Structure 1
């Protein structure tokens, strides 16, 4: 029996805000600080992962001697500075979609691999905080995306079963996490996020004006 959709879970970076280029720049600057030169192509495959997961892999793959915690702390300062300094608004169609979702009495949450501090800065900058019932950060997760942990935890705090949730994601890791959680997934093709495998998503879109609350409920 098909369950009714009750909740919509939004990734943040690349979905609410076009921030993936800033995240790639933060990784490039951080790795350079610790002696490793990389390109956007080298780091875009890690989109959607937590800082700890990503820098644990960087440390291993590039044989970096520095502690993961120190690299993550440096990187967090870089990304916060970038987001605060950039003149950027919500991705086109997001405010209207969020308002429609709220008007249909669906529950909403941000489920992001970013830190709580960065999520708070972004939601305040975009003026979107009022549209979300809950915020869950990858900081709290033992396993980051593509593991389903963050989406399962978000469903729990919203009081919804995974089968009652729709995930909105722009990264391949995020889409995999949503599918693994047993949720419907909308994959958003964001050119700024680079090459991302969104196959397996219930629906793939190029613009948020392609969907509304009614279409999400019907997935």
Structure 2
């Protein structure tokens, strides 16, 4: 009997990190707003929400231009990372988001190669992967700090696909931000939007599917797109 092939085959899953695997956003929020206070910047919640999914470098490039900051972008980044590192090391309640570890383990057991494509710095990715023992499950970790433009630019996802040796059409991305979903679709990938309670105000309607909990996903459902 001939095999039945779907029009598309998902061969790798690409995870975003912040807001999908772990909620470090409160720690980033705290670090950013402490730094904004030091810089004398009055930041609204609405304006801050537009930064979600952007790399720290891109955030400070925007702020430097908008507020005429005299410090070098590198100096601003280093101060924010220092503040974040202090908050991260002191946090006792930080954990993977509900359903994240189970989904990772199920996909890994099913032989699905996993990639990370996060706007976070390599340093932050290393902190999270070390604390939660995630290194064995992922083939490649891609940081937004290596790209001149943040999501919604698709470059980070296209690079993850190249490292995985997969065509974009066979990659599925799990994202929680509007910028991330836009980037995944611009890369020609399938995208599941995760409407996380930790990522408010994000328009995910252009994702192929939107879920409210990672427990709604399984290896079978993701590979059937």
Q: TM-score, normalised by structure 2?
A: 0.93
- RMSD value, Cα: 1.3
- Give the corresponding residue for 2:193: 187
1:69 and 2:106 are equivalent in the alignment: no
1:200 and 2:192 are equivalent in the alignment: no
Mapped partners of 1:189, 1:81: distance in 2: 28
Shift of 1:85: 1.5
Aligned residues: 219
Mapped partners of 2:151, 2:208: distance in 1: 18
Shift of 1:66: 2.2
Q: 2:177 aligns with which of 154, 165, 171?
A: 171
Are the counterparts in 2 of residues 185 and 201 from structure 1 also a CA contact under 8 Å?
yes
Q: Which structure would you say has the larger Rg?
A: 2
- Give the corresponding residue for 1:96: 102
Mapped partners of 2:16, 2:85: distance in 1: 18
Unpaired runs of 5+ residues, structure 2, are: 1-5
- Give the corresponding residue for 2:3: none
Unpaired runs of 5+ residues, structure 1, are: none
1:40 and 2:45 are equivalent in the alignment: yes
1:145 and 2:144 are equivalent in the alignment: no
Are the counterparts in 2 of residues 83 and 122 from structure 1 also a CA contact under 8 Å?
no
Q: 2:11 aligns with which of 1, 6, 13?
A: 6
1:158 and 2:164 are equivalent in the alignment: yes
Shift of 1:64: 2.2
Q: TM-score, normalised by structure 1?
A: 0.95
Mapped partners of 1:171, 1:104: distance in 2: 27
